[in-house]
Amino acid sequence: MGFTWNSSDVTALADPHFIDKLGDKNMIDKNIKLQQLRHFVVSAHRGNLSKASKELRIAQPALSQSISKLETSLNAKLLQRSQKGVVLTEAGNLF
């Protein structure tokens, strides 16, 4: 079992206006969580936080912080970080 998002899924999530297109502006907490999900998916797909941050058009430290907050809220490590990039952990693969 591996990561099964296809390129069009990732491209849609990488769109900086993806969350805005969902509609309800009163759902701030949900938007933050959707943004974290988008950050996670694009990072996992790219395998590199630097490449993901460029695609998402955000700073790499902000991307790392977003994913860390998602991991904290789930109480699970989703990505294994190294000098070579990132790979999904078992929890990340299940998520």
- Tell whether the model's pLDDT for residue 20 goes beyond 80: no
For position 10, what pLDDT does the model report? 53
Q: What are phi and psi of 78, to 5 degrees?
A: -95, -30
Mean pLDDT of 47-53: 96
Which string of DSSP letters, residue by residue, matches 20-41?
Answer: HHT--TT-HHHHHHHHHHHHHH
Q: Is the pTM of this model over 0.85?
A: no
- 9 has a pLDDT exceeding 90: no
Of 85, 86, 68, the closest CA to residue 77 belongs to 68
pLDDT at residue 17, rounded to an integer: 61
- Quote the pLDDT of residue 72: 87
